[in-house]
Amino acid sequence: MNGNPHHNHKIDPKEVRNSRQGHPRPTLHTIGPIKSDPDRAKLKFALVRGPGVFSQRSVISTTLPSFGLAMLMGYLRARGYDPIFVDAVGEELEQTWQPEKYLAVKCHGLTFAQICERIPKDVDVIGVHAMFSVEWPITRDLIHALRNYAPNALIIAGGEHATAVPEYNLKDCPSIDILVRGEGERVLFEILETARKNSRSFNHIFPISYLDENGNYVETSSQTSRIRDIDNLSWPYWPEGYLEKFWDLKKTHVVNTGRDIYMMVSRGCPYLCTFCSSAQMWTNRYTLRDVNDVIAEIKYYKERFDITGIQFEDLTSVVTKRWLVDFCNKLLDEKLNVSWAMPSTRSECMDEESLLLMKKAGCIYVAFSPESANPRILELIKKNVNLDHITAAALNAKKVGLIARINMIIGFQDETRKEIINSMWYALKMSFKGVDEVLVSLFSIYPGSEMFNDSLKKGKIKLGDEFFLSLNLLNSDLTQLRPMVQSEKVSPLELGIYRTGFWFLSFLVGYLAHPKRIVRTFKVMFFNANATTVFENRLSDLAKRIIKS
C-alpha cells in the first residue's frame, strides 16, 4: 500500500465506490457476553493503547482508564467481533521505563515487547489508539515494533492526533496501513468487515487516509463523519478486573470517591475555539444522549461494579438547562446514591437554582474554563463566554457547597504582557474568593486546531519529535523555565516564571484564605483519604512516586 515490502495489504485506488451506506446498529446495548457471530469472531483483532508519556521531572501525571478503547470494544462486541484488549497503561500501572531515544521523558506502562507478548503472532488486524500528540514519537515507535512483530497484520491508527495531521503521520510512520480520521466506531467496523472478507480494497470507506504504492497521500473524503444516533451506540465495555486496578491504586481524574467510572452524555462541541482541535475530530455538531439512556447506563454500573462515583468526560458536558434539570430529577427519583463530577462545564445553564439541584442529585465537582480575562483575547480565540456569567457560576457553585475549578490559559501568540497579568490577577482573585483550584496553563498549540493549522501554513511550526515532546513539557514540568512557547510578545523565560510562580502562589493564597483545606489535603497525602481535587490527586500521586523511587 505504501511501498513497504513488508506490507501485504494493498488498497486499490481504482475501486472507489461512492456509497456512504452504513451498517445496521443493534437497538440493545451489548455490554456483557459477546454477540454470537462465529465468522466475525474468527478474525484475530487487537486494540492497543500504548504507554503513557511524561516528563522526567513531571509533577502532573494523569493515569486514566482508556475510554476510547472501551467504546470501540463495546461497539465491536455488539456486532460479533471479539477484540483483544491491550492497554499498556492499565496493565502495568506502577511500571515506568526509560525510552533510549528520548531522555527528557519516561514511559508509563508496558514496554513494546510486553505489548507484543499479549498479541497472537498471527493476528489479522491491529488497531492503535493515537490520541495525544505529546505521545506521538512513542506511539510511532510502538507501531513500528508491532509491524516487525506481525509483518502480515493490517495496522490501523486512529484518534485525535491521527486525525489532526494524517499525511504527516502516514509519512512519518509507514508501518501504518490505514489511518481513520474522526469518529472511529463505524469506520473501524467497516474496515474489519472488508478485511474479514479477504478484500484489500478499502476505498468505499469514509473517511480514511493511506499512502498508495507510490507513497502518495490519499484520502477517501476530506471531511470527517459523525454518527447521528448516539443513543444506539453501544455502551463502553470494561474488561473483567480492568477498572479495579485503577480503583485499588486510587487512580482517577478529579474527585476520588473510591470506585469511579467514566461516562459521556454527549458527543462533539458546538463551539469553535481556535486553540482546540475538537472541531477537526468531531466537527462542531453537538449531540446529547437521551436522559433515560444515561440513567440506564448508571444503573447498570451500579449493579455490575458497585460504583460510588461518575466522572463525565465530555468535551462540553451540558449546554441546555432542560436536559440538566431532567437528568438531576431522574437521578433523585431512582435513588442511585452516586457522586458525580463535571470537569468540562459551560456556565450558561449553571444558575444558583440548577447548581442547588445538581448538589442535591449528587454532584460534587464542577470546572469552568473562561481561559482569559481579556475581551480581546476571548474574541481572538473565539471563546464564546461571558466572563461575568462564568464568574458568578463558579462562586455560586461554592455557595451551594460544590468543589469548583477555574481553568485559564496564558501565552497566546498575540497576547501582551498586560493581558497575561490581567488574567493571572483575575485567577488569583477567584482563588482568594474560594474557588478550590485555579489553574493557569501555558498555551499549547494543539495539532488540529485552527491556530495550529494557521501557524503550520505560515511555517511557524516545524513538525517533528522535538515539537511533539515539547508539548509534554509545557505544563507538566514546572522546573522547565524556558519552555517552547508560541508567544510573539513575551519571552519563554518570562512565561515559564509566570506559570511556575502562579502555580505555587494560587495554592498558597487558596490555602491561607481557606485553611480547612490544609487538613483535608494532609489526610489525602498521609492517611490515604480520597482526593477531592485534581491538585490533591496529583500531589498524592507525586508523593507515592517519590516514596517508590
3-state secondary structure 290-356: CHHHHHHHHHHHHHHHCCCEEEECCCCCCCCHHHHHHHHHHHHHHCCCCEEEEEEECCCCCCHHHHH
Confidence of residue 478 (pLDDT cuts 50, 70, 90): confident
Is residue 503 located within the same domain as residue 524? no
pTM: 0.90
Nearest-angstrom CA–CA distance, 215 and 530: 52
Helix (H, G, I), strand (E, B) or coil at 536: helix
At 340 the pLDDT is 96
Q: What is the pLDDT of residues 101-136, one digit of tens each?
A: 998 899 999 999 999 999 999 999 999 999 999 999
Helix (H, G, I), strand (E, B) or coil at 410: strand
At 461 the pLDDT is 93
For 222, which DSSP code? S
Domain count, the chain: 3
How far CA 499 is from CA of 130, 354, 370, 446, 531, in Å, comes to 28, 34, 17, 18, 24
Q: Which residues contact 183 (CB under 8 A, 6 or more apart)?
A: 224, 225, 226, 227, 267, 281, 282
Nearest-angstrom CA–CA distance, 491 and 459: 20
Q: What is the pLDDT of residues 67-100, one digit of tens each?
A: 999 999 999 999 999 999 999 999 999 999 999 9
Count the Cβ atoms, other than its own, within 10 Å of residue 229: 8
Strand order in the sheet with 96-97: 52-55, 105-108, 96-97
450 in a domain, yes or no?
no
Average pLDDT over residues 482-504: 92
At 110 the pLDDT is 98
Count the Cβ atoms, other than its own, within 10 Å of residue 140: 21
Nearest-angstrom CA–CA distance, 171 and 47: 22
Confidence of residue 283 (pLDDT cuts 50, 70, 90): confident
Is residue 173 located within the same domain as residue 298? no
How far CA 60 is from CA of 54, 341, 539, in Å, comes to 8, 20, 8
Is residue 435 located within the same domain as residue 537? no
Nearest-angstrom CA–CA distance, 403 and 255: 9
> Is the model's pLDDT at 239 over the cut of 80?
yes
At 39 the pLDDT is 87
73 in a domain, yes or no?
yes
At 30 the pLDDT is 43
Helix (H, G, I), strand (E, B) or coil at 53: strand
At 19 the pLDDT is 29
Confidence of residue 345 (pLDDT cuts 50, 70, 90): low
449 in a domain, yes or no?
no
Is residue 184 located within the same domain as residue 315? no
Count the Cβ atoms, other than its own, within 10 Å of residue 187: 25
Is residue 207 located within the same domain as residue 310? no
Q: Which residues contact 465 (CB under 8 A, 6 or more apart)?
A: 102, 136, 137
At 343 the pLDDT is 80
Average pLDDT over residues 388-409: 95
Is residue 494 located within the same domain as residue 544? no
Is residue 491 located within the same domain as residue 532? no
All three cell numbers of 424:
493571572
At 549 the pLDDT is 63
Count the Cβ atoms, other than its own, within 10 Å of residue 191: 23
> Are the beta carbons of 310 and 263 closer than 8 angstroms?
yes
538 in a domain, yes or no?
yes
Q: What is the pLDDT of residues 155-173, one digit of tens each?
A: 999 999 999 999 999 999 9
The CATH number assigned to the domain holding 502 equals 3.20.20.70
First to last CA, the chain: 46
Average pLDDT over residues 475-480: 80
For the chain, percent of residues with pLDDT exceeding 70? 90
Count the Cβ atoms, other than its own, within 10 Å of residue 351: 14
Nearest partner of 297 among 26, 33, 74, 530, judged by Cα: 74
Average pLDDT over residues 469-484: 83
23 in a domain, yes or no?
no
237 in a domain, yes or no?
no
Question: Which carries the bigger pLDDT value, residue 231 or residue 32?
Answer: 231
Question: Which carries the bigger pLDDT value, residue 320 or residue 6?
Answer: 320
At 347 the pLDDT is 66
* Mean of the per-residue pLDDT values of the chain: 88
455 in a domain, yes or no?
no
Q: What angle do CA 170, 172, 176 make, to 5 degrees?
A: 40
Is residue 64 located within the same domain as residue 164? yes
What are the two backbone dihedrals, phi and then psi, of residue 175, each rounded to the nearest 5 degrees? -75, -15
Confidence of residue 7 (pLDDT cuts 50, 70, 90): very low
> Is the model's pLDDT at 49 over the cut of 90?
yes
Q: What is the pLDDT of residues 303-341, one digit of tens each?
A: 999 999 999 988 887 778 899 999 999 999 999 999 999
Is residue 324 located within the same domain as residue 437? yes
> Is the model's pLDDT at 60 over the cut of 70?
no
Is residue 277 located within the same domain as residue 386? yes
Helix (H, G, I), strand (E, B) or coil at 156: strand
Q: Domain span at residue 530? A: 519-549
> Is the model's pLDDT at 13 over the cut of 50?
no
At 24 the pLDDT is 33
Indicate the range of 28-32, 177-181, 337-341 predicted with least confidence.
Answer: 28-32
Helix (H, G, I), strand (E, B) or coil at 162: helix
> Is the model's pLDDT at 374 over the cut of 70?
yes
Is residue 493 located within the same domain as residue 535? no
The CATH number assigned to the domain holding 93 equals 3.40.50.280
Q: Which residues contact 389 (CB under 8 A, 6 or more apart)?
A: 347, 348
Q: Is the peptide bond before 5 cis (omega within 30 degrees of 0)?
A: no
Q: What is the pLDDT of residues 407-464, one digit of tens each?
A: 999 999 999 999 999 999 999 999 999 999 999 999 999 999 999 999 999 999 999 9
273 in a domain, yes or no?
yes
Is residue 144 located within the same domain as residue 200? yes
Nearest-angstrom CA–CA distance, 46 and 116: 10
